[in-house]
């Protein structure tokens, strides 16, 4: 049976790209984050980024391998600062770095996994501050990929 689905290689690759990301000054904004593919449902260590599988669809079983894969990037931080703006400023700071990773990621996928991708951030949603002092957000990304099987 051919490998017609790619959500696991894509999720693993994205988590590695987040771990390896460095800004222009050679530093990683995520150096204190626990980053992994999958979900640690209980006893999370903070801060953390979890790359999770949402769905894979439009799978072509004949001809060229192609499909649409949706992944979630869930980011969790702890902040018990009395200033209610502080956690939002932190989320905003890290969200922009995640967007920088996503901007570079398609060329890395093409090089490392030998597939062509078109990537779209469908939305970034809040956890509505329901779990303070923990704050979270979710990136929902759509990856339209095609090419040889990974």
Predicted confidence (pLDDT) per residue in 34-83, tens digit: 999 999 877 788 999 999 999 999 888 887 788 999 999 999 999 888 88
Q: Give 127: exposed, middle or buried? Use CB within 10 Å, 0-12, 13-18, 19+.
A: middle
What pTM does this model have?
0.91
Question: Max alpha carbon distance in the chain (Å)?
Answer: 58
CA nearest neighbour of 22 among 97, 119, 99, 76: 97
Gap between the Cα atoms of 73 and 137, Å rounded: 8
In CATH terms, is domain 7-140 a member of 2.40.50.100?
no
Predicted confidence (pLDDT) per residue in 104-137, tens digit: 999 999 999 888 999 999 999 999 888 878 899 9
CA nearest neighbour of 64 among 130, 17, 2: 2
CA nearest neighbour of 3 among 80, 70, 75, 69: 69
């Amino acid at each position: 049976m051919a490998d017609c689905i790619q959500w696991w290689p894509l999720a693993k690759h994205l988590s590695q790209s987040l771990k390896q990301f460095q800004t222009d000054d050679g530093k990683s904004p995520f150096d204190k984050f626990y980053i992994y593919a999958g979900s640690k449902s209980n006893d999370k260590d903070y801060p953390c980024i979890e790359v999770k599988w949402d769905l894979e669809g439009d799978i072509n079983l004949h001809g060229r391998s192609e499909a649409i894969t949706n992944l979630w990037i869930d980011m969790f931080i702890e902040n018990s600062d009395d200033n209610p703006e502080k956690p939002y400023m932190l989320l905003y700071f890290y969200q922009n770095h995640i967007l920088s990773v996503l901007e570079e990621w398609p060329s890395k996928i093409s090089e490392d996994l030998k597939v062509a991708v078109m990537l779209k951030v469908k939305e970034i949603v809040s956890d509505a501050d329901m779990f303070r002092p923990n704050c979270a957000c979710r990136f929902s990304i759509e990856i339209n990929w095609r090419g040889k099987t990974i």
